[in-house]
A = this chain, B = another copy of it.
Amino acid sequence: MKTDLEISQSVVAKHIRDIAEKLDIPENQLEYYGTNKAKLPLSLIKKEKIKDANLILVTAITPTPAGEGKTTTSIGLGDGLNRIGKKALTVIREPSLGPVFGIKGGAAGGGWSQVIPMVDINLHFTGDFSAIEKANNLLAALIDNNIRAQKDNLGIDPRTVLWKRCMDMNDRSLREIISGLGGKAGGLPRETGFNITAASEIMAILCLSENFEDLKTRIGNIYIGDTWEGKPVHARELNAEGAMAVLLKDAIKPNLVQTLEGNPALIHGGPFANIAQGTNSVLATKMGMSLANYVVTEAGFGADLGAEKFLNIKCRSAGLSPKAVVLVATIRALKYHGGKALDALTEPDTEALQAGFPNLERHLASLKSFGLPVVVSLNRFSSDAPEELELLQAHCKALDVPVALSEGWAKGGEGCTALAEAVVAAADKDAKPFTPTYNLEDSIREKMEKVCRTIYGAKHVILSNKANSQLRRFETLGYGQLPVCMAKTQKSLSDDEKKLGRPENFDINIREFEIAAGAGFIIPIAGNILRMPGLPLRPASEQIDVDSQGNIKGLF
């Protein structure tokens, strides 16, 4: 069997100018990065076009650790829509570099549903992550530089600094550090650490910003810590937002690439889906909707995390609403939720499958709470037995939800035409704008309770003492009107990753809060959320090599 890299290298990429032409973008609007990548100017965003475009969200049931193929489905669906004659475009996240050297596997789709050039996309791409890193780390340097000043400083109490540095690398040794050692020349020692770049608030900000002004305002609003008197200090007090925005002057522009079938795709931004909104930039989505009639996009992890935040945070902020939602389900994941062991998922087992249906039903109910048409995409794996596929399809019919086989991995767009037809039919129903789960005027506690009950099926939200006191403080500071960005495990609808299927009678325990005042959300944290991954004992990097001609092997 060919690897993803081999498949991607077997296809001759078209010049990106020809891809742009499909979207009627004149060549002089392209900022080339080689012949297969280009940045696009923000002037391509046209308000009047956006309202007529069909935004399609791809989300998933609760995934197995391997993931259920949301990105592959998004790319395949884009190709499928093009195959049935629609002007369609896939708009997705940029992958993070760090994990490439840890566990083998890229993040640009898979099989015959990939975006290319996949090596570049998985490495430095057009430099967006590096620019975000620099903006993030400039603010950190400015904070420490202000702290070391004996006069004319902001009086920041170094013990309260919330802002961390970031690096797009799986480097567990940087999670917790003491910086500023070495005497006067090193500033002032304090405890701090690094996040991976995808977990940086700058990433979340860039992906919610509408333009340079908005970007600067959001950066200025970043809450970096408190003064010795306990007053909040923001990035704007350091006059940091201008220089940070300059560092992001190119990163703010969406990136045009192509699918293996030569259809256009925009890739832009990649915030984490647990502590951030987990979906590509607002600007890329709006640009996509200005350039095509159907824009397929995805949101990280299961619908409980990705779709909820996509709608309540991103779409609300950007004034967008999808016309339909695709819920990716796999036989293997449903069997997993039905109690089948992870290493036995390739064995046919209709009983386990049936026992896993409630997970699907829970997500369908959540999506219906938004008032949006849903299509189930049955992402086919070679191990799926015919009776399993039939059983799931029959179950969806009984639930009165459209279902389509999706074979993007094995067949590319050809394997997604049935899904494309079902999506067009669903979008044609012209649903009203989605109903948010909560109102911004609700208290933070009400917002959390509504999400936990409506989306997760939980009973109560329990706050630790620490969380309670943080909540009071954030409300006092005027942050009560922000949406909530729930940080919980993606492995369960509950906050306990061992509770598979459709857990019942559970509470969500909020250990503490974080605030992303610049991005514009409060982050209730349920459980341990890793912001800096580590490398496995045998890192994938050991297999990666480049020959004398610059040919790469061992990557993915």
- Are A250 and B181 neighbours in the complex by a CB distance under 8 Å? no
A542: interface (CB < 8 Å): yes
Contacts of A546 in B (CB 8 A): 212, 216, 242, 245-246, 249
- Are B167 and A176 neighbours in the complex by a CB distance under 8 Å? no
> What is the size, in residues, of chain A's interface with B at 8 Å between Cβ atoms?
79
Question: Which stretch (A27-35, A306-314, A406-414, A440-448) binds chain B?
Answer: A27-35
Contacts of A123 in B (CB 8 A): 246-247, 249
Once the chains are docked, how many angstroms separate the CA of A239 from the CA of B539? 10
Whether A175 touches B171, Cβ cut-off 8 Å, given contacts A34-B32, A124-B134, A249-B546, is: no
A182: interface (CB < 8 Å): yes
Once the chains are docked, how many angstroms separate the CA of A369 from the CA of B220? 57
- Are A175 and B185 neighbours in the complex by a CB distance under 8 Å? yes
A95-130 residues at the B interface, CB under 8 angstroms: 97, 101, 123-124, 127, 130
Once the chains are docked, how many angstroms separate the CA of A107 from the CA of B101? 34
A150-186 residues at the B interface, CB under 8 angstroms: 152, 165, 167-182, 185-186
Once the chains are docked, how many angstroms separate the CA of A167 from the CA of B191? 19
- Are A172 and B185 neighbours in the complex by a CB distance under 8 Å? yes
- Are B177 and A178 neighbours in the complex by a CB distance under 8 Å? yes
Contacts of A180 in B (CB 8 A): 172-173, 176-177
Whether A552 touches B246, Cβ cut-off 8 Å, given contacts A137-B167, A138-B169, is: yes
Once the chains are docked, how many angstroms separate the CA of A191 from the CA of B247? 31
Once the chains are docked, how many angstroms separate the CA of A180 from the CA of B188? 19
User: From residue A283, how far is it (CB to closest CB) to chain B in Å?
Assistant: 13
A548: interface (CB < 8 Å): yes
A145: interface (CB < 8 Å): yes
Once the chains are docked, how many angstroms separate the CA of A546 from the CA of B243? 8
Kindly list the 10 A-B residue pairs having the minimum CB-CB distance in the complex, ordered from nearest. A242-B545, A176-B182, A32-B32, A130-B130, A243-B541, A176-B181, A243-B544, A141-B171, A144-B173, A239-B542
Question: A residues bordering B, Cβ < 8 Å?
Answer: 31-35, 39, 97, 101, 123-124, 127, 130-131, 133-134, 137-138, 140-142, 144-145, 148-149, 152, 165, 167-182, 185-188, 191, 193, 211-213, 216, 238-240, 242-243, 245-247, 249-250, 534-535, 537, 539, 541-550, 552, 554-555
